[in-house]
Structure 1
Amino acid sequence: MTQEPGTTPTPLHWKVVIDCADPQSQADFWAAALHYEVEDNNALIERLLELGALPREATVEFHARLAFRDLVAVRHPDDPYDKDTGTGLGRRLLFQRVPEEKTVKNRLHLDLHAAVGEREAEVERLEGLGASVLRRVREPSGEWALMADPEGNEFCVQ
């Protein structure tokens, strides 16, 4: 597909996909951590089941609704979403079940920005949700806490 000279390309829609062992637990943690919402795909799943396009074993009950067994997303509560599918159309994290365990440091991580003077309170809140502090960093460029989510994925709180 070629672009007409002088036109601005349409930005691509994206989401961050995080490999994990338990998508539902990760979605719950990150929804609480970010104050996001877990996507509700129940209507889409029911349609796919009725059409025979999805086997029942590919689903689980999650928060008293049908969910995909191997993927769950969380979305920013202010962003638009498709009401027919429950799929977010803005800022999203998708948690995808994979068979292998995490073995090395993440090459990509999230930086969470606490309100001024609230970093320690935010770190404590996240620890209460199941995160752990790996180390506290104090450098000329700034201070932050390096943390890990319940499956060991690193993130920072600034």
Structure 2
Amino acid sequence: MTQTPTPATPVHWKVVVDAGDPHAQADFWAAALRYVVEDHSALIGKLLGAGAVPADLTVESHGRRAWRDLAAVRHPDDPYEEESGTGHGRRLLFQRVPEAKTAKNRLHLDLHPGAGSREEEQARLEGLGARVLRRVEEPSGSWLVMADPEGNEFCLH
């Protein structure tokens, strides 16, 4: 039997980043991208109240309950679910893992702050805890390879 193809619906996605401290990483990337840290406290409160999750799966972050091992940031203009605080657009999710980063990323973010503002943005990112790993000068352009506080590489164009 041949199935009729369904209309092409874009796939919802998020970038998931392994982290030693997901809340610190979320704070860094929220500031770096000018995003907001997602607030899941209403959902967590509901689940705790119903006895559906134990309290030891949560921590206090920014004066509210948060998942111990997960933190996310989203673009401030994108839609989100009010009941859970979960973004439905541009989003990074940081999940706790036991091991430290050991090799070069296979995936990274490229940040494009706008023409003529790379040096100012570099200084701002370094103030947040990033560091420059190297400068790249090629015929196709120049950029900085930087690392976030846990060593994950990203490029600043």
C-alpha separation in 1, matches of 2:130 and 2:124: 9
Looking at structure 2, the residues matched to 52 and 28 of structure 1 have their Cα atoms a distance apart, in angstroms, of 29
CA distance in 2, matches of 1:72, 1:3: 40
Residue 133 of structure 1 corresponds to which residue in structure 2? 132
Q: Could you list the runs of 5+ residues in structure 1 that have no partner in the other structure?
A: none
Q: What secondary structure is seen at the aligned counterpart in 1 of 2:127?
A: helix
Q: Does 1:76 align with 2:89?
A: no
C-alpha deviation, 1:115, in angstroms: 1.0
Query: What's the offset of the Cα at 1:4?
Result: 2.3
In structure 2, the gaps of 5 or more residues are: none
Q: Residue in 2 aligned with 1:142? A: 141
Asked if the contact 1:15/1:92 (under 8 Å) is kept, the reply is yes
The 1:102–1:59 alpha-carbon spacing in structure 2 relative to 1, beyond 3 Å, is same
The letter for the 1-side match of 2:8 is: P
**Count of matched residue positions in the alignment of Structure 1 and Structure 2:** 156
**SS of residue paired to 1:67:** strand
Note the C-alpha offset of 1:93: 0.1
Q: Distance in 2 between matches of 1:134 and 1:3?
A: 51
1:80-108 Cα distance to aligned partner (Å, 9 max, x none): 00011100010000000001110000000
Within 2, Cα distance between the matches of 1:75 and 1:3?
37
**1:53 corresponding residue in structure 2:** 52
In the TM superposition, what is the alpha-carbon distance from 1:50 to its structure 2 partner?
1.1
Letter in 2 for 1:49: L
- Give the counterpart letter for 2:131 in structure 1: S
2:108 aligned partner, one-letter code? H
Query: Are the structure 2 counterparts of residues 145 and 8 from structure 1 closer, same or farther at C-alpha, using a change threshold of 3 Å?
Result: same
Deviation of the 1:53 alpha carbon: 1.3
Structure 1 residue 3: Cα displacement: 5.8
Residues in 2 aligned to 1:124 and 1:15: alpha-carbon distance in whole angstroms: 27
SS of 1:128's equivalent in the other structure is: helix
Helix, strand or coil: the match of 1:107? coil
**In the aligned structure 2, how far is the partner of 1:119 from the partner of 1:156?**
11
Cα distance between partner residues in 2 of 1:71 and 1:117: 35
- With structure 2 as the length reference, what TM-score do the two structures score? 0.97
- Please give the secondary structure, in 2, of the residue aligned with 1:147: strand
Alpha-carbon contact 1:3-1:9 (below 8 Å) kept: no
Amino acid at match of 2:144: A
Overall identity of the aligned pairs, in %: 70
Please tell me the root mean square deviation across aligned C-alpha atoms, in Å.
1.1
Residue type of the alignment partner of 1:38: V
Q: 1:25-44 residue pairs with structure 2 within 5 A? A: 25-44=24-43
Tell me which amino acid in the other structure corresponds to 1:106.
N
How far is 1:148 from its partner?
A: 0.1
